[in-house]
């Protein structure tokens, strides 16, 4: 049986979310083809010949693109069973189903995709053995078959947190690593970057995070030998740097540290980056030198805000003072920081935004912040824990199907206007190749009603490694 797996966007990485289920489905006997629509066109012939089509929806942008794609897939393959899988599948079930999806799978999706494949394959065989003849024609509508393992789930959706024995992802039919984002080094050299995941889910419950509604504070580890073999194959394919896409690499230090030790022993020239929250940077500070010594170039940390009130709303479990400590700690250790923020929230006044910019400068973080971060606006997706807050309930409008979020307007309309101006300026200046310090100075000017930057930026801070595609959601 033919299976087509599709990815629309995965932050400029070769999609792990296709490579992993492809390995599982092929082991079950499926003929699988993968297409990453971020870097290659859709093969309509392959889609038309598929019995099962899987669309990976790991994040907001990918899901909006999938929503545009689903009607086209249904038109190309009216008899196919279409499944959306990934973090944004089940929270957006009603919309995705209306657009053409039959099944939604959240959480650990590989085994559920195999179960869906087996059910469709079994149903196909049974229909072929007892074919109903109407008007002299055989009828077989695979998409009307109810998969046995999903039959009891409401409306054909399931969230699985099963502990899986993961398989090594199969990437051979995906576009080569050179087609994706590269690591840009301070000396103007570039490195081909690969991507893998050592854990999935997260044990924390930050209110604004889309992982929480699905995983509910749990995470799952991928076996070390599977991760190492995945990296080994990517190195053979040209990877010089690896991004670990774990929501938090220090959810399980006992899993992470032996992994990077083994990685460095086998590939001493290979570098990598990880994501770690501020709370863990401080609690696990003793392990940071080992990350550096095994090749960690930078750590992404979702700082989100430098205002303690906003941090409480987000339930981030760190404070402005904690951030300053983490910055100093990483600087002392010799690991660069890639800081991410939610710049515009309902609680971000102009004074708060101005103070945020000043603190970024005071902490020497101008080169550590991708300029798009100055314009990021709070997204409230379906299932967000922010909706538990009365302040948010009073603020949001009904769910917007096109935006895939609950719209909100700032109490001060000038803040929404500022966000729009900052976003436009950042995009324009990045396209022109403007450096981070100059973009920061321009954003400062916008935030201060045209007044020029009066701070003296610390030019002693070296440029930091960064990916050629800036972080987005």
Q: Quote the CA–CA distance of 223 and 246 in Å, as a whole number.
A: 13
Q: How far is CA 330 from the centre of its chain?
A: 24
Q: Retrieve residue 32's tokens.
A: 């699988």
Please tell me the predicted confidence (pLDDT) of residue 156.
75
Sequence-distant (≥ 6) Cβ neighbours of residue 383 within 8 angstroms? 91, 210, 213, 214
Residue 370 CA: distances (Å) to CA of 53, 103, 271, 373, 465: 35, 37, 20, 6, 11
The answer to whether residues 255 and 263 touch, using CB atoms and an 8 Å cutoff, is no
| Number of residues assigned to the chain | 473
Which has the closest alpha carbon to 200: 172, 169, 176? 169
Q: How far is CA 32 from the centre of its chain?
A: 23
Q: What backbone phi and psi angles, to 5 degrees, belong to 196? A: -150, 175
Please tell me the predicted confidence (pLDDT) of residue 460.
64
Domains and CATH numbers, the chain: 2-160 (3.40.50.280), 177-467 (3.80.30.20)
The answer to whether residues 95 and 67 touch, using CB atoms and an 8 Å cutoff, is yes
DSSP run (H or E) holding 60: helix 60-76
Positions of the chain with pLDDT under 50: 126-155
Query: If DSSP codes are grouped into helix, strand and coil, which group holds residue 39?
Result: coil
Please tell me the predicted confidence (pLDDT) of residue 471.
60
Report strand pairing: 81-85 vs 52-56. Answer: parallel
Which residue matches tokens 């590269």? 182
């Amino acid at each position: 049986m033919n299976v087509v797996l599709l990815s629309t966007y995965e932050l400029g990485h070769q999609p792990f979310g296709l490579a992993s289920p492809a390995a599982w489905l092929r082991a079950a006997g499926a003929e699988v083809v993968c297409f990453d629509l971020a870097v290659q066109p859709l093969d309509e012939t392959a889609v038309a010949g598929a019995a099962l089509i899987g669309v990976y929806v790991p994040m907001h942008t990918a899901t909006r693109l999938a929503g545009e794609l689903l009607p086209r897939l249904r038109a190309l393959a009216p008899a196919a069973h279409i499944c959306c899988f990934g973090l944004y599948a089940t929270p957006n079930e009603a919309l995705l189903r209306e657009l053409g999806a039959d099944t939604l799978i959240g959480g650990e999706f590989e085994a559920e995709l195999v179960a869906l494949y087996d059910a469709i394959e079994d149903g196909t065989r049974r229909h072929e053995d007892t074919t109903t003849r109407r008007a002299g024609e055989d009828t077989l509508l695979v998409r009307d078959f109810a998969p046995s393992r999903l039959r009891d789930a409401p409306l054909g959706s399931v969230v699985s947190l099963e502990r899986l024995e993961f398989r090594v992802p199969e990437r051979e039919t995906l576009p080569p690593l050179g087609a994706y984002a590269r690591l840009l080094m301070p000396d103007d050299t570039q490195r081909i970057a690969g991507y893998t995941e050592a854990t999935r889910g997260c044990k924390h419950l930050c209110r604004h995070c889309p992982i929480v509604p699905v995983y509910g504070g749990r995470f799952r580890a991928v076996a070390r030998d599977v991760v190492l073999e995945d990296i080994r194959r990517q190195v053979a394919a040209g990877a010089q740097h690896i991004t670990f896409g774990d929501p938090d690499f220090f959810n399980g230090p006992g899993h992470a540290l032996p992994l990077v030790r083994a990685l460095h022993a086998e590939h001493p020239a290979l570098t990598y980056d990880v994501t770690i929250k501020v709370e863990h940077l401080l609690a696990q500070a003793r392990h940071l030198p080992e990350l550096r010594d095994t090749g960690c170039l930078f750590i992404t940390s979702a700082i989100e805000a430098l205002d303690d009130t906003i941090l409480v709303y987000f339930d981030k479990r760190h404070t402005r003072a904690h951030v300053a400590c983490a910055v100093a700690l990483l600087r002392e250790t010799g690991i660069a920081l890639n800081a991410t923020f939610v710049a515009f929230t309902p609680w971000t006044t102009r004074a708060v935004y101005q103070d945020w910019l000043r603190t970024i400068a005071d902490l020497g973080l101008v080169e550590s912040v991708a300029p798009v971060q100055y314009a990021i606006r709070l997204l409230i997706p379906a299932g967000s824990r922010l909706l538990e807050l009365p302040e948010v309930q009073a603020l949001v409008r009904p769910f917007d199907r096109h935006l895939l979020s609950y719209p909100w307007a700032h109490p001060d309309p000038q803040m929404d206007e500022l966000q729009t101006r900052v976003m436009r300026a950042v995009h324009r200046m990045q396209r022109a190749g403007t450096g981070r310090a100059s973009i920061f100075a321009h954003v400062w000017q916008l935030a201060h009603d045209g007044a020029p930057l009066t701070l003296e930026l610390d030019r002693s801070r070296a440029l930091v490694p960064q990916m050629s595609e800036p972080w987005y959601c």
